[in-house]
A = this chain, B = another copy of it.
Amino acid sequence: MSAYAKPVEILIDELGRLPGIGPKSAQRIAFHLLKADAVDARRLADAIVTMKETVSFCERCFNVAESAECDICRDPRREQGVVCVVEEPKDISAIEKTGAFRGRYHVLQGVINMLEGIGPEQLRIKELALRVASEDITEVILCMNPNIEGETTAAFIATKILQPFSITVTRLASGLPVGGDLEYADELTLGRAIEGRQHLG
């Protein structure tokens, strides 16, 4: 006899695949949902399905998008010449909140991490090169997180990818604590880091 009914076991198993959810958390969440109103549980299931059906990634910058291109790429008021390269879509919202940046973005969807087997070819780096080659871009700001993987990725893009183009390549000013996470920086610090961005190479 299994410990619980099969459908509960299956749900615990599926929840356990989510990032940051261990077996005990998965069990706690499953029993929470079992006790919850059917309507509430259904709303969570529907939210997952609806998101997968209506949201994907911007064809240009790989930000979250509800149509072929994201709101920022389609906004004619955004500066066309400056592109901020970030790791994840959530970093865009952190930068947008500062109000210090009026250009567009490019989301790598990760960073180079050889220990986890993530190389440049798994990221949207090729697509960044293509944009720099075809769009009227004059400056690329590398906004990776200030940690080992972020610095490695920024150095790779600066030296191996953007070197051939006659554009300005900058990165965020120091001011962010090293080893920290861009997502947790306060708006003032992040805003200053954008204003004081430094030339790379």
Contacts and interface: CB of A to CB of B under 8 A. Distances in A.
A130 interface: no
Interface string A1-22: 1011111101101110111110
Contacts of A49: 41-42, 45
A42 B53 CA distance: 10
A43 to B, nearest CB: 6
- Give the oligomeric copy count: 2
Given A1-B71, A44-B15, A51-B7, A31 B89 contact: yes
A52 interface: yes
Nearest to A7: B51
A199 interface: no
| Chain A contact residues: helix, strand, loop or mixed | helix
Interface residues of A, number: 58
A156 to B, nearest CB: 21
Interface string A73-93: 000000000000000111001
A107 to B, nearest CB: 11
A166 interface: no
B31 A20 contact: no
Contacts of A40: 17
Contacts of A17: 40, 44
